[in-house]
Amino acid sequence: MPISVLITGANGFLARAVAAVAPPDWRLLGLLRPGSATAEGRWHAVHERLETLQELGPVDAVLHLAARIPADLRRFEPELVAANVMLPAQLLQRFPDARHVLASSVAVYGVPATLPLAADTPPSPATPYGWSKLAAEHVLRMAPRHAILRLSSIIGRGMRPGSFVPAAVAAAKAGRIGVHGDGSRLQDYIDVRDAARMCVAAVVRKDNFATLAVSGEAHSNAEVARMLAALCGADVVFSGTDASPSHAYTLDNAVNLGPCLVPLRETLADMVAG
């Protein structure tokens, strides 16, 4: 029997990947920001306003993928409250009997005191963005059926520019990759297709939980740069310093949402080809 799944941020990077891997018996309903780009794919219907959702009957699940992510995570913006907290609250009120699955963020852990972080590491946000995601988690814990996925750095073809990986890909294509410091900073990267499969698995499960949704493998900036250099024949140049904290995670005590199938090198190759 088909199930109805409402996905917010339907034209976003992760939502497009979810639509591509969603089971065929899912009836996909999308919610977009008014005036934003049209969602493409196998959507049954796409809405731009919460008011039009009143026309829908009950839905089986709500997948909360819409989020405001500032270029500077340390900066407070009113939209952080509207998009990251109020929208999930409004949808919980509209669909109280649905299963609510939130794409949260490892930003709720703040600056790591020790590594690796685990699913049961106490949250300690260090930015307004991190606080907004933790607030959304608390809202959706009120749902009788819920799942919270703390995602790490999602990468893949079509991701928005600005972070280290897409900048390094562009630099590799130009022939020279610049790396701050000695490149030892660690990060956990997850391919968007693996993140999408985890979202689907969380919708299908019946239990309530909050867990990490990460690859469980930490790679240094130097490793990423050298992989890209090998793919593109580029040079790697180290300069200056890098005070950014490392992030690494263990999957001990995490809910099993399935293995990550796409290794980092394959993701980078796909981004270079895109």
Q: Quick one: average pLDDT of 253-257?
A: 97
State the pLDDT at residue 129: 97
Task: Give per-residue burial for 134-160: e unless 16+ CB within 10 Å, then b.
Answer: bbbbebbeebebbbbbbbbbbbbbebe
pLDDT(38) > 80 = no
Query: Mean pLDDT in the chain?
Result: 95
pLDDT(224) > 90 = yes
pLDDT(42) > 90 = no
More confident site: 144 or 274: 144
Measured from the Cβ of residue 105, the count of other Cβ atoms closer than 10 Å reads 26
Q: Quick one: average pLDDT of 237-244?
A: 96
State the pLDDT at residue 36: 72
The residue assigned the tokens 């909360």 is 64
CA of 140: how far to CAs of 84, 133, 136, 149, in Å?
11, 11, 6, 12
Distance CA 46, CA 41 (A): 11
The pLDDT tens digits of the residues spanning 123-135 come to 999 999 999 999 9
Contact predicate 63/51, CB 8 Å: no
For the chain, domains (ranges, CATH) are: 3-154+189-213 (3.40.50.720), 157-187+217-249+261-273 (3.90.25.10)
pLDDT(13) > 80 = yes
